[in-house]
Amino acid sequence: MRRLSWLISLGLLAACGQTASAPASEAANEAGSAANDSAPASATDNAAADTGMANATDAPTPAASETEKPASVASLPLKRGFYVASDTPCGRASNATLSLLGRDGFTVSGRDFCEFVKIEKTGATGYRVTEECSSGGEAWGTEEQKDTSVVAWEIPNDTSYKRKSDSGWESSARYCAQSSLPEPWRDNDISDLIK
């Protein structure tokens, strides 16, 4: 019983960030007894564990992914070219479902350009991308609008992705060969845009 009360006190002090003030001989005896005790835990020891009096050193360590910092990368590991919304056949692509991915960003709806300001690898297939998107402008007869957002990209392979913005919208797309798209995209020269 004396051992149990000492373990409970030690557990409470450890939980509060304090050290035990038990006599050194008692602590040494208890530590030696615990180290040499090869018998299964007694009901009293189990009761201490069940009451949440575990030693502070038994606390779980954070997973490696929680402690690693995201690494900056130069570009996303995707094939450059046309991407079409996942639920749309390549041959039925439209401005609303099509984007053109280049090294530094992508064009959406044929008129909005989103530049990759910062790309961070956050996991095996995860990326956090700061995107600065501009829409409108002189060519469209409207004032240019710029908007910056942080978007989580999930890239399972080099021809598909899912995106979720910090504001909550989601999208997914997959690569479509240019020859599989309808006109006018099928015959456009995009070589300068996807370098």
Q: Which two tokens stand for residue 108?
A: 């959406």
Percent of the chain with pLDDT over 90: 49
Q: pLDDT averaged over the chain?
A: 74
Question: Could you tell me the residue ranges of all domains in the chain?
Answer: 2-59, 71-187
Quote the pTM value: 0.62
Q: pLDDT tens, 84-143? A: 999 999 999 999 999 999 989 999 876 789 999 999 999 999 999 999 999 766 665 667
Does domain 71-187 fall under CATH 2.60.40? My reply is: no
| 158 secondary structure, DSSP code | T
Q: Which residues contact 131 (CB under 8 A, 6 or more apart)?
A: 105, 114, 115, 116, 117, 148, 149, 150, 151
Closest by Cα among 124, 83, 137 to 105: 83
Q: Which residues contact 76 (CB under 8 A, 6 or more apart)?
A: 101, 116, 119, 127, 129, 153, 155, 161
Higher pLDDT among residues 5 and 45, named by residue: 45
Least confident of 29-43, 126-140, 172-186: 29-43
pLDDT at 188 over 80: yes
